[in-house]
Amino acid sequence: MATDPKRIALHLDADPRFAAAAGGAVRCLAELAGMSQEDSCEFQAAMIQACQEAFESHTTNSHLIEFTVFDDRLEVVVDSNSGPSAIRLSRQVIPQS
C-alpha cells in the first residue's frame, strides 16, 4: 500500500555549518527509510557538497532545501526556488535484508 510522500522544508543561511546539518538530516532520513549505513553516508556527503556548491554559487544568503520521502526513494532539492539552477539529489531506498 503506497503512502503519501512526506515533505520537509529547511531554510538555511549560507553557512558551512548548516551544510553539515543538512547532511546529517539527509543521513537520518536515509537510515530511517532503510538505507544501508554505507549508502546513507554517501548520500550525506553528496548533500553537504550540494549545499556548499549552492552557498558559493548563489548570491542570496537564504537557501531553501526540500526533502521528500517516498516509499521507494528519497529526493532532495537545494534552492528549489532558483529554477533550473536548483541542485537535485535522489537515492533509491533498498531496505537491508
* CATH number of the domain encompassing residue 38: 3.30.565.10
- Per-residue pLDDT at 97: 58
Q: Averaged over 64-81, what is the pLDDT?
A: 90
Q: What is the pTM of this model?
A: 0.86
pLDDT of 1 over the 60 cut: no
Domain count, the chain: 1
- Domain that residue 66 falls in: 6-92
- For 43-79, letters b (16+ CB in 10 Å) and e give bbebbbebbbebbeebeeeebbbbbbbbeeebebbbb
Is 22 domain-assigned?
A: yes
C-alpha to C-alpha distance for 70 and 77, rounded to whole angstroms: 14
C-alpha to C-alpha distance for 35 and 28, rounded to whole angstroms: 10
Is 37 domain-assigned?
A: yes
CB 33 within 8 A of CB 93: yes
Three-state SS for 59?
Answer: coil
8-58 per-position pLDDT tens digit? 999 999 888 999 999 999 999 999 988 999 999 999 999 999 999 988 887
Is 27 domain-assigned?
A: yes
Is 14 domain-assigned?
A: yes
